[in-house]
Amino acid sequence: MTAACHRVARSLLADPLTNKGTAFTDEERTANGLHGLLPPHIGTLESQIARRRLALAGMSDDFQRYVFLRDLQDTNEVLFHALVQSDLEGLLPIIYTPTVGEGCQRFSEVWRKPRGVFLSWPNRERMADILADPRFDRVKVIVVSDGERILGLGDQGAGGMGIPIGKLALYTACAGINPAQVLPILLDVGTDNQERREDPLYVGWRAPRVRGADYDAFLEDFVSTIERRFPGALLQWEDFSGKNAFDLLARYRHRLLSFNDDIQGTAATAAGTLLAAVRRTGIPLAQNRFVIFGFGAAGSGIAELLVRMLRAEGDDEQTARRRIWAIDQQGLITDALSDLPPQQAPFARPAAETANWTRSNTGAFPALYDTIVNVQPTVLIGTSGQKNAFDAPTIHRLAQDCAMPVVFPLSNPRSRAEAEPEDLIAWTGGRGIIGTGSPFAVPGVAQVNNVYVFPGVGLGALASGAREVTNAMFLAAARGLGELAPSDGPLLPPVTALREVAVRIATIVAEQAVLDGVATRPPAALTAEKIAGMMWHPSYA
């Protein structure tokens, strides 16, 4: 064997996209000089899965399993995805919410191998060079974060990379996007998390966050580089802080095929699940009163999509908005508040409305409990990141005035959930219709997480060759999801059905792209069969 042959052998094993480990066949070992680098037994994908499952079963906690699975992903991607596929329900909570949250918090502690790219402020002149790597020639889906609002865990700096990696693992697991075509990106513009910055192990750039005009210029450079390097690729903005999330979406949604998962993906998931919930309660959508607690990216995204749905049911704009009570840090959002951000202002209630309210708190603006007492909502959604904000008195009061209250504590991970589902069931006397953002193994409770929407939206946008992702495409996704709801039990199909969910959503989204005039492929190419046929499956064939 020549030195070059030895190098090829090494690189085949070192590249997680080509490595098959013990499953390299005898012929492949001979042709590529792999004999001896591997033990002599020739394994199969099935035997490899069995070995890894045994190792997972022997571990005592999910964080260990997370680290193990991340290492497997960086070693052999076919095996990683075959293993995930073999137990989506068991492994999703490890590679994704909630364990991925700890994966971001402890990212530096467990950092081992590079995956994706870090575009940092000190390297800003090198952005195009970094992305020019021919390894990225096939990239079709990018998930990017700047790590500032990781789930409900706040600023994690470079550790936020765990989220793009996790979301893209789900693009493959649920939407069948080839792992060779995905690229996680972390924009490292510093971190305002002092604990991270002072951690001697921290792998990110140790500086306060770059903000203002410098941040905007950096993002503009990033977007222009992406436009040139990956024309037609889909970009998902993920876990940016509220204001940046809205600004970036507005600035770039018509320039790049892109969407914001926390605003639009979460909205479509929550709104779709609400459609299923109101079928159960028998109260038509436009006769509900919605309280949304926590009015950042997710909360206001849900509210906007709800308004679209209510308008489709005949409400005028004003009437639709008045069915929603938005609560943020200061309390109920009313027009007595000055300088409301643009996503909140349209939901400000007239301050006069609360003048005669029964109040137990003395703050300037009614808090959640008083809003429940006076509004008597039928739907309560939590997107606040505030653990236990839905406490017993609040939920008892909600259930006192409503036969079947719909309660969605959506904040992630579990350590940030507004309530535990068991408690909600008890406090509503079993009458509540419950959905959570993180998975809980509680019978009857749906996981209302954007994983039900973003893989399908992405697949549909790519399949149709869409030029942009329109609001109508998300509305269609929400309706499609609502129609997939089982007639009893949890409000959403089980996690084990996520691949079928993604195909269905993708088909609906692609149809809507055609209707909106943004598709570049003909409708005949966009049937469910054709879209399912595009999906990658983990196998060594």
Sole window of 8-16, 82-90, 91-99, 261-269 interacting with Mg ion (rule: CB under 5 A)? 261-269
Q: Which amino acid is at 117?
A: V
Q: Pick between residue 239 and residue 511 the one whose CB is nearest to ligand OAA.
A: 239
Interaction between residue 239 and ligand OAA (CB under 6 A): yes
Query: For residue 200, is the peptide bond before it cis, meaning its omega torsion is within 30 degrees of 0?
Result: no
Evaluate whether 540 touches 78 at the Cβ level (below 8 Å): yes
Please name every residue paired with 142 in a beta bridge, in sequence order, or none if there are none.
183, 235
Its sign, for the CA torsion 383, 387, 389, 392, is: positive
Its sign, for the CA torsion 488, 300, 514, 141, is: negative
Interaction between residue 241 and ligand OAA (CB under 6 A): no
Q: Residue 206 is encoded by which pair of tokens?
A: 């140790």
What is the contact mask toward ligand OAA in residues 249 to 268, using x (rule: CB under 6 A)? ------------xx------
According to the annotation, is 239 in a ligand binding site?
yes
What is the contact mask toward ligand OAA in residues 40 to 79, using x (rule: CB under 6 A)? ----------------------------------------
Interaction between residue 436 and ligand OAA (CB under 6 A): no
Interaction between residue 151 and ligand OAA (CB under 6 A): yes
Residue 437: CB minimum distance to ligand OAA, A: 6
Q: Pick between residue 76 and residue 384 the one whose CB is nearest to ligand OAA.
A: 384
Residues touching ligand OAA: how many (CB under 6 A)?
8
- Which partner from the list Mg ion, ligand OAA, none does 418 bind, CB cut-off 5 to 8 Å by kind? none
Evaluate whether 204 touches 114 at the Cβ level (below 8 Å): no
Residue 456: CB minimum distance to Mg ion, A: 16
Residue 316: C-alpha distances to residues 271, 308, 323, 476 (Å): 18, 10, 11, 20
Q: Pick between residue 100 and residue 519 the one whose CB is nearest to ligand OAA.
A: 100
- Which partner from the list Mg ion, ligand OAA, none does 97 bind, CB cut-off 5 to 8 Å by kind? ligand OAA
Q: Pick between residue 165 and residue 367 the one whose CB is nearest to ligand OAA.
A: 165
Phi-psi map region of 233: left, alpha, beta (phi>0 left; psi -120 to 50 alpha): beta
Q: Pick between residue 102 and residue 262 the one whose CB is nearest to ligand OAA.
A: 262
CB atoms inside a 10 Å sphere around CB 415: 15
Sheet bearing 446-447, strands edge to edge: 331-332, 324-328, 290-293, 379-382, 406-409, 433-436, 446-447
According to the annotation, is 483 in a ligand binding site?
no
Residue ranges of the alpha helices (H) in 96-241? 99-105, 127-131, 162-175, 194-198, 212-229
Q: Pick between residue 161 and residue 332 the one whose CB is nearest to Mg ion.
A: 161
Give dist(CA 381, CA 383) in Å, integer.
7
Angle of helix 471-483 relative to helix 454-463, nearest 10 degrees?
Answer: 120
Residue 97: CB minimum distance to Mg ion, A: 9
- Which partner from the list ligand OAA, Mg ion, none does 384 bind, CB cut-off 5 to 8 Å by kind? none
Which of 239, 304, 370, 418 contacts Mg ion by CB under 5 A? 239
Interaction between residue 449 and ligand OAA (CB under 6 A): yes
Which of 146, 155, 188, 262 contacts Mg ion by CB under 5 A? 262
Query: If you write DSSP's letter for every residue of 37-77 in order, what string do you get?
Result: TB-S----HHHHHHHHHHHHHT-SSHHHHHHHHHHHHTT-H
Residue 517: CB minimum distance to ligand OAA, A: 29
Sole window of 85-93, 109-117, 238-246, 301-309 interacting with Mg ion (rule: CB under 5 A)? 238-246
* Kind of pairing between the strands at 234-237 and 141-145: parallel
Which residues touch 63 (CB under 8 Å, ≥6 apart)? 99, 102, 103, 106
Query: If you write DSSP's letter for every residue of 321-377 in order, what string do you get?
Result: HTTEEEEETTEE-BTTSSS--TTTGGGPBPGGGGTT---S--SSS--HHHHHHHH--
According to the annotation, is 238 in a ligand binding site?
yes
Residue that is written with structure tokens 């983990």 in the block: 538
Q: 3-class DSSP state for residue 307?
A: helix
Residue 453: which of 240, 175, 99 has the closest Cα?
Answer: 175
Residue 242: CB minimum distance to ligand OAA, A: 12
Q: Residue 134 is encoded by which pair of tokens?
A: 């021919």
Residues touching Mg ion: how many (CB under 5 A)?
2
CB-closest chain residue to ligand OAA:
97
Interaction between residue 146 and Mg ion (CB under 5 A): no
What is the contact mask toward ligand OAA in residues 93 to 132, using x (rule: CB under 6 A)? ----x-----------------------------------
Interaction between residue 304 and ligand OAA (CB under 6 A): no
Residue 450: CB minimum distance to ligand OAA, A: 5
Q: Pick between residue 97 and residue 470 the one whose CB is nearest to ligand OAA.
A: 97
Q: 3-class DSSP state for residue 250?
A: helix
Residue 445: CB minimum distance to ligand OAA, A: 15
According to the annotation, is 262 in a ligand binding site?
yes
Which of 450, 464, 470, 512 contacts ligand OAA by CB under 6 A? 450
Q: Pick between residue 175 and residue 425 the one whose CB is nearest to Mg ion.
A: 175
Catalytic residues: 96, 167
Please name every residue paired with 71 in a beta bridge, in sequence order, or none if there are none.
none
Nearest-10 Cα torsion for 275, 334, 418, 185: 80
Sole window of 34-42, 237-245, 301-309, 313-321 interacting with Mg ion (rule: CB under 5 A)? 237-245
Residue 419: C-alpha distances to residues 414, 426, 437 (Å): 9, 12, 11
User: Element (H or E) spanning 267, and its range?
Assistant: helix 266-281
Known binding-site residues for a divalent metal cation equal: 238-239, 262
Interface residues toward ligand OAA, by CB under 6 A: 97, 151, 239, 261-262, 412, 449-450
Interface residues toward Mg ion, by CB under 5 A: 239, 262
